[in-house]
Chain A
Amino acid sequence: MKNNLTNYPIWNDKTNRESLPFEKNEQFHYTPLKMLLEKMEATVESTDIGNTDLANQKLIISDEILQRIHFFSQSHFFDILLVSLNGEFNLHYSQLPKGKIFHKKITTEELQEKNISFNLLKEPLFHYLNNKEFHFFDFHANAELENENLKIVILHLDSTPELPISALTPLVFHLNQKCQLNLLEIRESLYPAATLIQNEKMDFTYHKIQGSLVKLENTLEKIHYLELNTFTEINELCLWNKNQDIAIDQITGNLLHEKSNIQLQVLSLLTKLSKYDLSIHINHQRPETISSVLVKSLAQDESMGTYTGKIFVEKKAQKSEARYLNKNLTLSPRATINGRPQLEIFADDVKCSHGFTCGKIQEEELFYLESRGLNKERANKLLIQAFSQELLNKISKTHLGEFLHGLLKKEDFYA
């Protein structure tokens, strides 16, 4: 099951075209995406994926992980709990209330038979990871869910033994109801993961926390692929705080129907030596589609964040509106932020804007707070909090607000 990067010319081309600097003389300290993949390939090669000795060993779940699962299974915040261990969905620890959600492990062919046209299947990375199977969650069949508010949490955890990073089995959600979906995804795993959401009719809200609350000291791949027909709002919060974290996050949104609307907010908090690479692609394919993307990032210590945001407006997507804004705050002289906001417009009657800012905490702001009795540390934290508040406010309006606030306090980003 050996994979070779060079077999995927599309991927190479895509990497070079969209991720790496265009100009030879461009000083762009980009997370070397290709290098990471090659590193992964080496890992895959050095271990035999088919070796079942490790895979067959009984998974040992630590008390800490059990407590975490227990916390969410008891939480009134969520109706449905999906647990993934070592990168693989685990039915035993999950809670799937009967009548609400239908789960089945299916093959690519079966997925296609269901007439679900995920363009994701064409994504080169997925070929690279060699996925042939999907965990399929269907909400479609149940008419009782009409107008219901579904609260789902997905936990990505690791147990022992640590299995080699192998083919990932994406979680696929198929939604065809006019109900609200609140999805919180928490990653505490070093295994790659992918969540796919096909949204035909319903409005849905998506929340994600991904980061190293327990451990995350290896290469991570994460891909979100969204096919959006109606209004979609995504709020994403990333915490990267362990040394040597390298994370790649791709979010692709295709606006496939007239008047489709996506609101995407990402907040990432980077510390220590972590490296985060976020790439957002929004494709306006139909008229009067709307997209609004706001990415905010705080970089401490020697962390590095790289943000590519590309808005593509096709010729037939007349009267569309697209906004992309990336604001960054570096909290130490050795933190780095790279940004590439891009617009590619082929329609002639559209409103589009994009922007990128990067700065440090202003001395004058600090002095103002200190002159009112706040010590330097507290003043710093308050200004950091203020920077992230805009996005947290959006999340705080939901039932997750309290939960997220507690988490940020725990992570000591602000007191």
Chain B
Amino acid sequence: MLDISNLKVSVQGTPIINELNLTINPGETHVIMGPNGSGKSTLVKTLAGHPAYEVTDGTVNFTVHKKIMNLLEMETSERSLKGLFLSFQYPVEIPGVTNLNFLFESYKYHCESQGVTVPSENEFIDFLKPKCELLKMNVDFLNRNVNEGFSGGEKKKNEILQLLTLNPKLALLDETDSGLDVDALKVVSEGVNTFRNKSNAALIVTHYQRLLNYIKPDVIHLMVKGKIIRSGGPELALEVEEKGYGLL
């Protein structure tokens, strides 16, 4: 589904990611762990098309329905419409736009892109209700402005609500567990698990092993100085928890 080869990324001339290789297949959940400043967030933001990150070398192929696309040549919005989703570490507040309007607008673009009939607003609200329930979000949240005045936990839940609504092929979750209390962590994890199936995939960036108590990953990668230095099974996360990055 995602094939990153020899990727090099710079920010304002400073290299952040250096010769990174990563392959994610459908049905897999990958986790990237690493010390602060190792380039984890840079990687996922680059994949989503953030304009501040400059790809200096390498290729990224994104395969959906057996069609291989060069991700780096696509606009940010096009990447989303083709099935890529980034859950933000710091979701942006947009005063003046209600959550419902924003979600509906986004959903309409996805429907149109896939040639699917756009539902009415009422049908869309009915479609959202069970997702809100799953995430223990009051439906009133839909009428509030996007992320404005939301607590840290509410913002992260809102990201997962968007994930479940847009149902992408590949979900990039950037520190979705940070700032969450134990209960919220469970709820958010349940949301992510609901999303997972055999035909989609997830790439999760996290600092903590505790998230992996709820979301079972297939592969763990350790990223240091812009490179994946080690990959392994879930036991690698426990090793990191025990020894820290320093000893690895």
A406 CB–B CB distance under 8 Å: no
A142 CB–B CB distance under 8 Å: no
B88 CB–A CB distance under 8 Å: yes
Cα-based distance from A229 to B166 in the complex (angstroms): 54
Cα-based distance from A374 to B109 in the complex (angstroms): 7
Query: Once the chains bind, are A373 and B166 in contact (CB under 8 Å)?
Result: yes
A367 CB–B CB distance under 8 Å: yes
Q: Which A residues are in CB contact (< 8 Å) with B80?
A: 370-373
Rounded to whole Å, the gap between the CB of B76 and the closest CB of chain A is 4
| Residues 350-375 of A at the B interface (beta carbon under 8 Å) | 362-365, 367-375
B33 CB–A CB distance under 8 Å: no
Query: Once the chains bind, are B92 and A365 in contact (CB under 8 Å)?
Result: yes
A382 CB–B CB distance under 8 Å: yes
Query: Once the chains bind, are A373 and B110 in contact (CB under 8 Å)?
Result: yes
Q: Which A residues are in CB contact (< 8 Å) with B52?
A: 363
B97 CB–A CB distance under 8 Å: yes
Query: Once the chains bind, are B97 and A364 in contact (CB under 8 Å)?
Result: no
Scoring B77, B81, B92, B95 by chain A CB atoms within 10 A of each residue's CB, the highest score goes to B77
Q: Which residue on B lies nearest to A379, using beta carbons?
A: B77
Q: Which B residues are in CB contact (< 8 Å) with A378?
A: 105, 109
Cα-based distance from A385 to B101 in the complex (angstroms): 12
A-contact bits for B6-24, CB 8 A (1 contact / 0 none): 0000000000000000000
B153 CB–A CB distance under 8 Å: no
| Residues 79-112 of B at the A interface (beta carbon under 8 Å) | 79-81, 85-86, 88, 91-92, 94-97, 102, 105-106, 109-110
Rounded to whole Å, the gap between the CB of A395 and the closest CB of chain B is 14
Rounded to whole Å, the gap between the CB of B43 and the closest CB of chain A is 15
Cα-based distance from A386 to B95 in the complex (angstroms): 6
Rounded to whole Å, the gap between the CB of B161 and the closest CB of chain A is 12
Query: Once the chains bind, are A373 and B113 in contact (CB under 8 Å)?
Result: yes
Query: Once the chains bind, are A375 and B96 in contact (CB under 8 Å)?
Result: no
Query: Once the chains bind, are B88 and A372 in contact (CB under 8 Å)?
Result: no
Q: Which B residues are in CB contact (< 8 Å) with A382?
A: 94, 97, 102, 105
Query: Once the chains bind, are B51 and A371 in contact (CB under 8 Å)?
Result: no
Q: Which B residues are in CB contact (< 8 Å) with A362?
A: 92
A387-B96, A389-B97, A390-B96 in contact; A373/B48 too (CB < 8 A)?
no
Rounded to whole Å, the gap between the CB of A376 and the closest CB of chain B is 7
Which of A371, A383, A386 lies in contact with B48, CB distance below 8 A? A371
Q: Which A residues are in CB contact (< 8 Å) with B94?
A: 365, 368-369, 382-383, 386
Interface size on B, residues (CB 8 A): 29
A364-B92, A367-B51 in contact; A372/B106 too (CB < 8 A)?
yes
Query: Once the chains bind, are B92 and A368 in contact (CB under 8 Å)?
Result: yes
Cα-based distance from A396 to B48 in the complex (angstroms): 37
Query: Once the chains bind, are B86 and A375 in contact (CB under 8 Å)?
Result: no
Q: Which B residues are in CB contact (< 8 Å) with A379?
A: 77
Q: Which B residues are in CB contact (< 8 Å) with A372?
A: 77, 80, 102, 106, 109, 162, 166
Query: Once the chains bind, are B109 and A373 in contact (CB under 8 Å)?
Result: yes
B49 CB–A CB distance under 8 Å: yes
Scoring A367, A373, A388, A390 by chain B CB atoms within 10 A of each residue's CB, the highest score goes to A373
Q: Which residue on B lies nearest to A362, using beta carbons?
A: B92
A368-B88, A372-B166 in contact; A386/B77 too (CB < 8 A)?
no
Q: Which A residues are in CB contact (< 8 Å) with B77?
A: 370-376, 379
Rounded to whole Å, the gap between the CB of A215 and the closest CB of chain B is 31
| Residues 125-172 of B at the A interface (beta carbon under 8 Å) | 145, 162, 166
Rounded to whole Å, the gap between the CB of A297 and the closest CB of chain B is 15
B75 CB–A CB distance under 8 Å: yes
Query: Once the chains bind, are B109 and A385 in contact (CB under 8 Å)?
Result: no
Which of A367, A375, A383, A387 lies in contact with B50, CB distance below 8 A? A367
Query: Once the chains bind, are A368 and B91 in contact (CB under 8 Å)?
Result: yes
Query: Once the chains bind, are B51 and A363 in contact (CB under 8 Å)?
Result: yes
**Chain B: residues with CB nearer than 8 A to chain A?**
48-52, 75-77, 79-81, 85-86, 88, 91-92, 94-97, 102, 105-106, 109-110, 113, 145, 162, 166
Q: Which 8 A-B pairs have the closest CB atoms?
A: A386-B96, A389-B96, A370-B76, A368-B92, A373-B80, A372-B106, A373-B109, A386-B97
Return 28 A-B CB contacts under 8 Å, by A number. Answer: A362-B92, A363-B51, A365-B92, A367-B48, A367-B49, A367-B76, A368-B88, A368-B94, A370-B75, A370-B76, A371-B76, A371-B79, A371-B86, A372-B77, A372-B80, A372-B106, A373-B77, A373-B113, A375-B75, A378-B109, A382-B97, A382-B102, A382-B105, A386-B94, A386-B96, A386-B145, A389-B96, A389-B97
Known: A372-B162, A373-B109, A382-B105. 20 other contacts (CB 8 A): A364-B92, A365-B94, A368-B92, A368-B94, A371-B48, A371-B85, A372-B102, A373-B106, A373-B110, A373-B113, A373-B166, A374-B106, A374-B109, A378-B109, A382-B94, A382-B102, A385-B96, A386-B97, A388-B96, A390-B95
